Amino acid sequence: MSYRVELAVLAEKKHFCRFGLTLHNLSDQDLTDWHLQFIIDRFIQPDSFTHGAIKQTGSFCCLTPDRTVLPANQHYYCEFSINTAPLRFYTDGLKDALIIADGGATQHTVTLTPIMLASPYREKSELPSVEPAALAVIPMPNRIELLDGKFHLTTSSQITLQASLAEHAATWLQQEIERLYQFRAQTVGQSDIIYRNNPTLDEGEYQISITGSGVRLEAGSRSGFVHASATLLQLIDHDEDLSTLTLPYVKICDKPRFKYRGMMLDCARHFHSIDMVKRLINQLAHYKFNTFHWHLTDDEGWRLEIKAFPQLTECGAYRGANHPLEPQFSSLAHTYGGYYTQQEVIEVIEYAKQRGINIIPEIDIPGHCRAALKSLPDLLVDPQDSSQYRSIQHYNDNVLSPALPGTYQFLDKVLEEVADLFPSPWIHIGADEVPDGVWLESPACQQLMQQHGYRCAKDLQGHLLRYAEKKLRSLGKRMVGWEEAQHGNKVSKDTVIYSWLSEEAALNCAKQGFDVVLQPGQSTYLDMTQDYRPEEPGVDWAAVIPLENAYRYEPLAQVPDNDPIRKRILGIQCALWSEIVTHQSRLDYMIFPRLTALAEACWTEKSQRNWLDYLARLKGHLPLLDKQKIEYRPPWK
């Protein structure tokens, strides 16, 4: 350990923190002509910096000290401030640091000491101890009756299809039984599991009956059969040598509470491999989700091959020292990135379809577009625009211009390829977090405003989104976007709004006549920490979301049952933003088991939901997660 950096909170108030940063040169060599790179999520006030200067782009900071030599066994110290909420978790501190010395000729890795927090949370949540439930089904079926007796699947059991709609569901069941229990049902044998058509059942609805004569799964839709398979998989018990699988006698009548049950995964901030994406989609099917929202583009990465613009992935899929996109969030010393080819995407779509899951791709515009702007500067950058702005993640160059012809050429080609690639009837165009101050100093934007009588930037944003909506409609697609998509009042009520800031915003949009998907950050953002201990990974800007809070999320609690506005609320989505999600085990830790709690908010009627009952089922269910090596956060520590 030759170099070590320490960050300590010196003082803090509601919207202010002062830090002291110390870099120790523990080597026996002087550092000469050096600077320090480091990663921090918060915006450092540039004029608050002592003993040097700081340049920050996103989370990437470059500190130039006020002296060019740091002698062996000496330290360098500086102070700086941020004007946001106090830090409570170790993952709020520095994520990586790197010394560049000898004018750029050498680099040295730096050991990080966990941040010295001034006031970490003192609270702690503990779960009541419960006995594991005998029937550990999650989400809770709306009617389930346990009967006396057990049915045994044996090596001569066969899955029989009496419904063509059940083909995917039966294949998935067979694959999962084999994956989990190394147990293969026969192609010819005893018809112990029968999938049967029942046209009286609605979309997603299913029934299961397990008696002495075997297992009967009934549905009237492909999705209903997949959900039936998911429930069956959770009912299976096995003996030690796995030669027999046991199922309890039960009768289940079940159907979804909400039509839309989704999960969003951000693959831009960190890249998640195709295998990780498939693994998650498979898990979503186990908990009866029906939508995977694939966040494919953002400031820090463009992850989808676009044949018309190979630069988007040649350049925009990678970050690093010698790249137009600086390192962000992790990994200063190495180039970081990756993208999905269209062929890979086709495979994922098929994989998801077999599990009853629709994939909605998101191309986030007009904000969150830095990777695209850096990849296609000739097309997308307005050289006359001298507007000053800072986005929520501290960029001053991440917004498409509604006044450039190149923007529309870009949108046309990208949306055409996306619409062609994804069978989903919905395409998500983002629209979130366009920063204040954008476009004000662009002569072209000002001219566009005058031409149309627009009064503010929101009108310009609406202008661009209305274009995107029309383009998507011409491609046979419905536009969906974050709640800011209706800013400027230009898109039609056909656009579906995903509300994320509050339920109030959702209800306002629903009142205006928009269909709405609920994704409130306070309950459904899985990048929020799961408890108050400083070791918990995550952020807390929306909330800390312990398992109980995720479980207790009850949408529309204040809206009367007969209020027609309810019809506009299509469902619920949870989301994992990936700034801190660098690898599979972190992804598992953030998602599980909260995903199972939120699955129940999506699926199970309010009257059937009960926290302690869920906990007992979760306890009974954990061995199934262990079996799959899912590295969930242990609920009982």
Q: Which residues bind ligand ACM (CB under 6 A)?
A: 432-433, 482, 500
The Cβ of residue 395 has, within 10 Å, a number of other Cβ atoms equal to 22
User: CB 519 → ligand ACM: shortest distance, Å?
Assistant: 7
Burial 582-610 (b: 16+ CB within 10 A, else e): bebebbbbbbbbbbbbbbbbbbbeeebbe
Dihedral sign for Cα 581, 264, 504, 428, please. Answer: positive
User: CB 433 → ligand ACM: shortest distance, Å?
Assistant: 5
User: CB 264 → ligand ACM: shortest distance, Å?
Assistant: 9
Q: How far is CA 398 from CA 272, 433, 484, 559, in A?
A: 23, 11, 17, 38
State the residue for tokens 């405003």.
449
Q: 139: cis peptide before it, omega within 30°?
A: yes
Q: Which of 511, 532, 528 is nearest to 519 (CA)?
A: 528
Q: Which residue is nearest to ligand ACM (CB)?
A: 432
User: CB 295 → ligand ACM: shortest distance, Å?
Assistant: 9
- Residue 494 C-beta-side C-alpha neighbours within 13 Å: 15
Q: Which of 573, 561, 607 is nearest to 259 (CA)?
A: 573
User: CB 500 → ligand ACM: shortest distance, Å?
Assistant: 4
User: CB 483 → ligand ACM: shortest distance, Å?
Assistant: 8
- Distance from C-alpha of 222 to C-alpha of 228, rounded to nearest angstrom: 10
Task: Find how far residue 341's CA is from the centre of its chain.
Answer: 20
Residue number with CB closer to ligand ACM (521 or 546): 521
Task: Find how far residue 10's CA is from the centre of its chain.
Answer: 33
- Pairing mode, if any, of strands 214-219 and 190-197? parallel
Residue number with CB closer to ligand ACM (166 or 363): 363
Q: Is 174 exposed, middle or buried (0-12, 13-18, 19+ CB in 10 A)?
A: middle
User: CB 269 → ligand ACM: shortest distance, Å?
Assistant: 12
